[in-house]
Amino acid sequence: MLHIVLVIFAIILLLVGLIGAALPYLPGLPLAFLGTMLLGRLTDFQYFDARWLWLFGFLTLASLACDQLAGFLGSRWGKSSLWGTVGAVVGGLIGVIFFSVWGIILGPALGVLVFEMVARRDHLRAVRVARVTLVASIIGLVVNALLAIFYSVALALALIF
């Protein structure tokens, strides 16, 4: 009975994780990876072996890196000052904590905008850097969703074959 409950729990973790990869507030692929590991352990890894687990682990790490680096890299690509980069990190953290989905997208851009305006008082440059940061955050979200789709397809292939 406990085995069945744990398998259901592992499947729920997988589904929540894969859905959560498209929502920036949930740790999508880490939850899916946890579900994959639990499901693998409960089935004695009869459906997928170490190669698949390495692939799933790599996709999970890529997803985490994408989440954390999108706003930061956007501010750097927009040629922000050190204060703008700090603003992207601070804005991303505040956005994630207080404003959920929209915070992870808009937080880094608003952080860059505020910190660049305070540091340099050049409003046009601050807006340009914030715009690049916003685009980078959106691209990061799309890449994360694509990683989740790839994870889903690879998991389906591992379970079928």
**Which candidate, 103, 107, 110, 105, places its Cα nearest to that of 126?**
110
pLDDT of residue 25: 61
User: Which residue reads 């305006």 in tokens?
Assistant: 117
pLDDT tens-place string over residues 76-97: 888 888 888 888 889 888 887 8
The conformation of residue 47, written as its DSSP 8-state character, comes to S
User: Per-residue pLDDT averaged across 32-42, rounded?
Assistant: 87
Is pLDDT at 161 greater than 80 in this prediction?
no
Question: Residue 58: how many CB atoms within 10 A of its CB?
Answer: 11
Q: What residue type is assigned to position 117 of the chain?
A: M
pLDDT tens-place string over residues 130-144: 999 889 888 888 888
**Which candidate, 71, 77, 51, 35, places its Cα nearest to that of 154?**
51
The conformation of residue 22, written as its DSSP 8-state character, comes to T
| Domain ranges across the chain | 2-160
Q: What residue type is assigned to position 138 of the chain?
A: I
pLDDT of residue 23: 66
Q: What is the pTM of this model?
A: 0.76
What is the chain's mean pLDDT, rounded?
84
